[in-house]
Amino acid sequence: MLPKTNRLSKKKDIERVSKEGKRFKEDFLILKLRENDLKESRFGFAVSRKVSKNAALRNKIRRRLSETVKMKFKKMKKGVDGLFIACPGLEKKDFWETEATMEKLFKKAGIIK
């Protein structure tokens, strides 16, 4: 799990990233990015019922995404708010496929050093 300072938790922050952020799509995952005025990068994760009606599976996907961000955190540039949105089909991917997709998204967005 990400440290509390690196999580997007307030509704207004998530809405701001969702509306104003630049959008990057790869496979079954969407990343929306927006600059922030903080020294830290923050990330949020959205997994809707369209992906799975099973809450345990949605939480599993959320944990996978969070763990991958945590693994890549030291390489990322600071001062960015990001929102990962899972699309239907992601529930069939394993951890390593999801991690590879996220790596492509980070490179496409230019936030990995």
How confident is the model over 57-111, as pLDDT tens digits?
999 999 999 999 999 999 999 999 999 999 999 999 999 999 999 999 999 999 9
- The CATH class of the 4-108 domain is alpha beta
- For the chain, the structural domain boundaries read 4-108
- The Cα–Cα gap between 112 and 55 comes to 31
Please choose, from the candidates 5, 14, 33, the residue with its C-alpha nearest in 3D space to the C-alpha of residue 110: 33
Per-residue pLDDT, 1: 86
Q: Residue 32's pLDDT is what?
A: 97
Tell me the three state secondary structure of residue 74: helix
Q: How remote is the C-alpha of 77 from its chain's centroid? A: 15
Helical (H) or strand (E) element with 12: helix 11-20
- Counting residues of the chain whose pLDDT is more than 70, the rounded percentage is 100
Structure confidence by residue, pLDDT tens digits, 6-25 = 999 899 999 999 999 999 99
Calculate Rg over the CA atoms of the chain: 13
* 113 has a pLDDT exceeding 80: no
